[in-house]
Amino acid sequence: MNPRLSLSRVIIFTGRLEEMVIFYSEVIGLELASREQGWVELGAGGCTIALHEWHGEAAEGPLKIVFQTDEVAAARALLVSRGAPMGEVVSFGEIDLCDGTDPDGNAFQLSNRVTP
């Protein structure tokens, strides 16, 4: 059985976190879903816009598309078998992540972090 993937968030790396929060909440009209040091998520329907404070250039580029799955390692193995370039699974406490790139070099991530 294939692990289920669903779009959970789009991460925007920014050096202007507070301006971006104001823009996406007050101008666009998204609701604040969660906030931590250097990380803000705003509800955008079935997924979130995550603003990640970052100074300088993010190695992955300005955006990263995140797919949620309960089985990060199994999803990674499946995508590798289909030819996707994938990094290793890394864990931060109970959160498992694995980064990859599409044919144009756009960053995406597999994550078991639940969308707030």
Which CATH class name applies to 6-111?
alpha beta
pLDDT digits (tens, 9 = 90+) for 84-113: 999 999 999 999 999 998 877 888 999 999
pLDDT single digits (tens) 35-80: 999 999 999 988 999 999 988 776 667 889 999 999 999 999 999 9
DSSP string, the chain: -PPP-EEEEEEEEES-HHHHHHIIIIIS-PEEEEEETTEEEEEETTEEEEEEE--S--TT-SEEEEEE-S-HHHHHHHHHHTT--B---EEETTEEEEEEE-TT--EEEEE-PPP-
